[in-house]
């Protein structure tokens, strides 16, 4: 079986305070798929993502990556396969320089120094951030931090990219660069986002969550054309799919 696949079956999880975050979540992701996970705050999106590389352990149900169950004994292999980009890049950038941050994972894999350096160069080049190599992370802009955080994951050469709110806090130019970058990746991608225009542009399929459950799993265009579903889930149509506010016809321009 391809290492790029994900199978989630009847996943359930509650936090120690009793808050039920996931309730019977099931879905399949195929090789090379790009899936958006959308929903209002508290719908369970981030909690779901944290299960995909074992950062959280299911209360019940299961997660398989390429046929390998996510379990204590498989975490090293799972985390090499599933690269997680957190909502806040500062959660991933903690070394004195960008190059050291990007090289941190490969170093901890025990790779030789020359291989680590090659991975750092390749990962930074892929996100158009090679010029930031010697910069301390605290001196980066929000968009630069986001690109470098993605590079730290790419340096591990994962088969699956999991991104939590990747466009959060970005200015329009940085957001457009991010969309262009993500569009180039051949990885299987799972993107949890409130940015529905990003989801519409990058993902052919969208999962809608509400109160810890999946309430829809359809082609993205069908989800975003269903105003009743969106309203019930605390969402609105992407700007690019709304009627022109001036003439009332067609779609608003992106």
Q: Is the pLDDT of residue 102 over 70?
A: yes
Cβ 40 vs Cβ 46: under 8 Å = no
66: left (phi over 0), alpha (psi -120 to 50) or beta: left
Q: Cα-Cα-Cα-Cα dihedral of 121, 126, 129, 130, to 10°?
A: 30
Domain definitions of the chain by residue range: 6-241
- 74 CB contacts (<8 Å, ≥6 apart)? 54, 68
Give the chain's mean pLDDT: 91
Any bridge partners for residue 13, and if so which? 22
Q: How confident is the model at residue 1 (pLDDT cuts 50, 70, 90)?
A: very low
Report the C-alpha gap between 148 and 137 in whole angstroms.
Answer: 9
What was the pLDDT predicted at 2? 57
Cβ 66 vs Cβ 5: under 8 Å = yes
What was the pLDDT predicted at 217? 97
What was the pLDDT predicted at 113? 96
Q: What is the pLDDT of residues 76-86, one digit of tens each?
A: 999 889 999 99
Q: What value does the mean pLDDT take over residues 193-218?
A: 96
What was the pLDDT predicted at 222? 96
Q: What is the pLDDT of residues 42-93, one digit of tens each?
A: 999 999 999 999 999 999 999 999 999 999 999 999 988 999 999 999 999 9
- Provide the pairing of β-strand 68-69 with 213-219: unpaired
The DSSP-derived string for 7-76 is: EEEEEEEE-TTS-EEEEEEEEEE-TT-EEEEE-STTSSHHHHHHHTTTSS--SEEEEEETTEE--GGGHH
What was the pLDDT predicted at 250? 54
CATH of domain 6-241: 3.40.50.300
């Amino acid at each position: 079986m391809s290492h790029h696949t994900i199978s989630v079956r009847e996943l359930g999880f509650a936090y120690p305070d009793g808050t039920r975050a996931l309730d019977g979540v099931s879905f399949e992701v195929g090789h090379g798929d790009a899936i958006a996970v959308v929903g209002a705050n508290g719908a369970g999106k981030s909690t779901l993502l944290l299960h995909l590389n074992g950062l959280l352990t299911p209360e019940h149900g299961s997660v398989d990556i390429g046929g390998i169950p996510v379990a204590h004994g498989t975490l090293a292999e799972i985390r090499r396969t599933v690269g997680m980009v957190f909502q806040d890049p500062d959660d991933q950038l903690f070394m004195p320089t960008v190059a050291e941050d990007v090289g941190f994972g490969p170093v901890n894999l025990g790779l030789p120094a020359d291989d680590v350096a090659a991975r750092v160069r390749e990962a930074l080049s892929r996100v158009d951030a090679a010029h930031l190599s010697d910069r301390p992370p605290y001196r980066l802009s929000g968009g630069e931090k986001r690109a470098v955080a993605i590079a730290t994951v790419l340096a591990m050469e994962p088969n699956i990219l999991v991104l939590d709110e990747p466009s959060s806090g970005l200015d329009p130019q940085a957001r457009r660069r991010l969309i262009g970058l993500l569009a180039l990746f051949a990885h299987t991608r799972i993107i949890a986002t409130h940015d529905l225009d990003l989801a519409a542009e990058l993902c052919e399929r969208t999962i809608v969550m509400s109160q810890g459950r999946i309430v829809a799993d359809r082609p993205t265009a069908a989800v975003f054309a269903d105003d009743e579903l969106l309203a019930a889930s605390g969402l609105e149509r992407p700007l690019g799919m709304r009627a022109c506010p001036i003439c009332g016809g067609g779609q608003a321009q992106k």
